[in-house]
Chains A and B, each alone.
Chain A
Amino acid sequence: MKKVMMGNHAVSYGARLSRVDVIAAYPITPQTQIVEELSELCADGKLDAKFIKVESEHSAMASCMGASAAGGRAFTATSSQGLALMHELLHFSSGGRLPIVMANVNRALGPGWNIWTEQTDSLAQRDTGWLQFYCENNQEVLDTVIMSYKIAEQLSLPVMLVLDAFILSHTYEIVDIPEQEAIDGYLPPYKPEIKMDVDNPHAFGALVTPDHYYEIRYKLQETMDRAPEVARKAGEEYGKLVGRPYDIVEPYMLDDADVVIVAAGTLVSNSRAVINEYREKGIKVGLLKLRMFRPFPTKRVRELLAGKKKIAVIDRNISFGATGIFYQELKAALYGQNNGAGSPDIFGFIIGLGGRDVTLEDIAEIVDYTLEKEKNEEDIIWMGLKR
């Protein structure tokens, strides 16, 4: 069934189709409609879930932890300040191997209150042990919620899916809502191997000495290493089911491209449009869409970008004192490839912080800059900065 809906509602529908047991969330612009819609769905009995209207995002995540630990499928959604407030518990939930799914609407952080889109909030949580997926449109948002559970529950790790504030969250698009039956086949009820169980009592998360902590952390990383494969399969399988396959990274006109744009979220759509224009002019520009950011899909990125000469990374975020975050990560992934010989020149563009519009012209400028420059000379190329 197709429906015109805003990104936030796509999140809610995704959660509903995933038959979540427990929702704990706290409102924040631009995420509020997720919460509102889920409240309605629960109230109307369209979703058989307990919605805990907690008093903070911190408690939202804590409640999800409790629910998940007891074997429930838990969901939350937040943004920006809320995500930052949760930070401690992001570590707790991944360390506790709890397959919680959270939607984060990308929004800039204060001070200077700013409710508009920016990727720094989610990217700043990259070291917490959560998987991260960035969505390009509302359809992908809905589908990613469902796939996230599929992946999270196989790995016993939490997953964050990310959508841009307003550009997706509040923008209405046509979304195909899959049949519940089909989704039920894809996503069976959550049955963890070990959970809080009075018949089989265990203590979870106790004091652990240096004797064992290290190895248990190693195990978490081992699981992360498996995540790209699991995620790819989940996307493939989902594709077979609903006709929309997903991968962890998605190339567009990449094969023969001289310049490759690397982007995530709605920046991908802008890039796609610009690439089409350039291709018409015969200029070989291609795109690599990063859907998965954590774990970083290093292997796929290396395969797909092998032999490329110039790469333009577009970051709507910044790691202060360093660079754009996608830029850092990509550089690190490609470092020393091909024995250092043919490794590409990577350009790092920062753009649109705090929701500043990113126009097609802006992207074209990025492409032109990259085409023009023989070598990258700066760590940050500030786009649209009013100097």
Chain B
Amino acid sequence: MSKKITFTSIADLPPLVVSMGTTEVNATGSWRYLRPVYHDKTAPCIEGCPASEDIEQYMYWAARGDFDKAWEVLVEENPFPAVCGRVCYHPCESSCNRDHFDQSLGINSIERFIGDHGLEFSLDRFKVAEEREQKIAVAGAGPAGLAAAYHLRRLGYQVTVYEKEEKPGGILQYGIPRYRLPKHILEAEIMRLERFGVEIKTGVQVGKDIPWNEFLQHDAVFLAVGVHKSRKLNVPGEDLDGVIAGLDFLSRINSGEDVSLGKNVAVIGGGNTAMDAVRTALRLGSTPAIYYRRTRAEMPAILDEIEEAEREGIPMEFLVTPVELIGENGALKAMKLQRMELGEPDESGRRRPVPVEGSEYVVEVDNVITAIGEQGDFTSIPEKLIEWGVVKSDAFGQTEQRPVFAGGDIIEQPHTVVHAIGSGKKAAMAIHAYLNGGDIATLADKIHVGNKGGVSFLRFRDGHEGDPVDNHEVVTFENINTSYFTRKDRHQVPELDVKTRITNFEEVKGTIDREAAMDEALRCFNCGVCNMCDNCLVFCPDVAIKRRDDRFRYEIDYAYCKGCGICVVECPRSALSLVPEGK
């Protein structure tokens, strides 16, 4: 600040009106009644991601071509970017603000690129905070179990995962077909966890190979055994030869078994299992079709999967349900269907299908694959933990019995990979809190990301320091100053053409290339987080914004800031807020 000039006598005064100092003597900050503050907020994509990946941050790095850094940011929250980049239904994208501008960001395809980049360059810079003595056991090596193991290991615990099958991965291994998720990708991401010190013991069924009580001897246990029992159609003829349970079918194919199907294959259901089964059947040379009792709009499968099935030419019959499977000599021959119509909404909010009297008809089929949902098989879990077919737990997977925690499909939550991963992370935090005599509930406010239940591991471990997203305020599209963005379509994902893909199990979708990944990441608004675009610095009429000494971000000189608010309005991404002065 330049010095205030005072004249003590006339002799001090110059003979003419000439300046002798600068206006920095005027502390114009006193004019201000609104104060701009740098205030990072939560991007809706992050809030929309059940694993709370710091999408905004890795977009920042991806846009600048630093994919190592992007990968590091990503795996803070989710150890399976290459897997999720392939199979996640990406609710982040449906929350993306860019959707209101042109098209939502291709978050999933960038995530996949980053995941593959991590594999290609064998990135595994996981950090263990401090080694701890406590031993933790996990039942089930599906995404929930593995995610929990990963985060617990990072917190320093000795973790063993018991998996009843021969290979880890759960449904990723045995359910999802390889044309969607090649096994080497899955296995590479799991092996990385093993190298990091997560012990996985396969072929060990908890409750059988390890008795429940022995299992409970660990300092804490995490149950993530998944749900795999196919629901029954409950119609006559269900035991006929040629009737196959969907998940069994997929599991056998994934295990490398030869499964021979007839020509006409009817797949009953509208979920992921149905889509995977029908497309698998197609690849095995059959002519499969979908039969679903509601309409396309109600299908629970990931939309992408429905679309792909359609593009592959699979017929879909809606508003029909099998009422009888008709056999000949114990072998399936035909299927009697009844037409349905939509009635009143049921508890899921979808309109309940009701049978139309006298609308039955018969189609010839060689196989019926049932895919109307899976149920848990809880024979090995103490009964008192179960209620309404799920393991009773709170939002952090804490059951009523300590030290038992649970996650994934066996608890009350959507059956998706990313929810499973998110629940594993939450349980890891809860276990840590439990083992340290704390209560995760008291931390909830600190670690929540947005208001949809997601939590940040980074913030749990490191606190707010260094974490840009320090509040739950979610940036809406209205908060974005779109003047600074130009419309641009999202990058298309490369894929095999339909003709070639349906003859084999080659991966259908490809990974975008590096340039495309950078380009796509550049479309990101970076909602709510300062990315040093310089707008505030450039537009301040009062030269009150300075680059910080370390040249990272800015600081506001409140001695001079008049509180015009231009910096706040012109921040493209709402990383500043205007607050009443004196608060």
Contact = CB atoms under 8 A, between A and B. Distances in A.
Interface of A: 95-97, 156, 194, 202-206, 208, 212, 215-216, 218-220, 223
A218 B10 contact: yes
Closest 3 CB pairs of A and B: A203-B19, A97-B16, A208-B17
Nearest to A213: B17
* Residue picked from A215, A218, A220, most chain B C-beta under 10 Å: A215
B467 to A, nearest CB: 45
A202 B18 contact: yes
22 contacts: A95-B17, A156-B16, A202-B18, A202-B20, A203-B19, A204-B17, A205-B16, A206-B17, A206-B19, A208-B17, A212-B7, A212-B13, A215-B10, A215-B13, A216-B13, A216-B15, A216-B16, A216-B17, A218-B10, A219-B13, A219-B15, A223-B15
Interface in B4-49: 7, 10, 13-20
Contacts of B13: 212, 215-216, 219
Contacts of B10: 215, 218-219
Contacts of A216: 13-17
Contacts of B14: 194, 216
A50 B7 CA distance: 40
Interface of B: 7, 10, 13-20
Nearest to A204: B18
Given A156-B16, A205-B16, A216-B13, 8 more contacts: A194-B18, A202-B18, A202-B19, A203-B19, A206-B17, A212-B13, A215-B10, A220-B15
A225 to B, nearest CB: 13
Residue of B13, B17, B18, B19 with most partner-chain A CB within 10 A? B17
A204 B15 contact: no
Contacts of A215: 7, 10, 13
Contacts of B16: 95-97, 156, 204-205, 216
Contacts of A194: 14, 18
A96 to B, nearest CB: 6
A203 B17 CA distance: 8
A97 B19 CA distance: 15
A236 B117 CA distance: 93
A155 to B, nearest CB: 10
A220 to B, nearest CB: 7
B476 to A, nearest CB: 45
Contacts of A218: 10
B18 A203 contact: yes
A216 to B, nearest CB: 6
Contact of B15 (A97, A202, A203, A206): A97
Query: Which of B7, B16, B19, B20 has the most A CB atoms < 10 Å from its CB?
Result: B16
B17 A205 contact: yes
Contacts of B17: 95, 204-206, 208, 212, 216
Contact of A156 (B7, B15, B20): B15
Nearest to A155: B15
B362 to A, nearest CB: 97
B73 to A, nearest CB: 47
A218 B13 CA distance: 11
A131 to B, nearest CB: 16
Contacts of A203: 18-19
A174 to B, nearest CB: 41
Contacts of A202: 18-20
A95 B7 CA distance: 20
A241 B402 CA distance: 114
A206 B17 CA distance: 6
Contacts of A220: 15
A205 B14 CA distance: 12
Nearest to B19: A203
A97 B18 CA distance: 11
Nearest to B12: A215
B2 to A, nearest CB: 13
A48 B13 CA distance: 37
Contacts of B15: 97, 156, 216, 219-220, 223
Q: Of A95, A96, A206, A216, which is in contact with the most chain B CB atoms at under 10 Å from its CB?
A: A216
A208 B20 CA distance: 13
A202 B19 CA distance: 5
A96 B441 CA distance: 74
A218 B11 CA distance: 11
A100 to B, nearest CB: 14
A97 B20 CA distance: 17
A212 B7 CA distance: 9
Nearest to A223: B15
Contacts of B7: 212, 215
A194 B13 CA distance: 14
A333 B7 CA distance: 35
A95 B13 CA distance: 14
A200 to B, nearest CB: 11
A205 B19 CA distance: 8
A205 B18 CA distance: 6
B87 to A, nearest CB: 65
B15 to A, nearest CB: 5
Contacts of A223: 15
A156 B18 CA distance: 14
B8 to A, nearest CB: 12
Contacts of B19: 202-204, 206
Nearest to A96: B16
Contacts of A97: 15-16
Contacts of A208: 17
A92 to B, nearest CB: 11
Nearest to A211: B7
A78 B11 CA distance: 37
A194 B15 CA distance: 11
A207 to B, nearest CB: 8
Contacts of A95: 16-17
B427 to A, nearest CB: 66
Residue with the greatest number of chain B CB neighbours at <10 A, chosen from A95, A156, A203: A203
Contacts of B20: 202
A203 B20 CA distance: 8
A96 B14 CA distance: 11
A156 B15 CA distance: 9
A203 B16 CA distance: 11
A156 B16 CA distance: 10
A193 to B, nearest CB: 10
B64 to A, nearest CB: 39
A47 to B, nearest CB: 29
A202 B20 CA distance: 7
A203 B14 CA distance: 13
A95 B18 CA distance: 11
A12 B16 CA distance: 30
A202 B10 CA distance: 20
A194 B16 CA distance: 10
B23 to A, nearest CB: 10
Nearest to A94: B16
Contacts of A204: 16-19
Nearest to A156: B15
Nearest to B15: A219
A223 B14 CA distance: 12
A218 B7 CA distance: 15
B16 to A, nearest CB: 4
A23 to B, nearest CB: 24
Contacts of A205: 16-17
B20 to A, nearest CB: 8
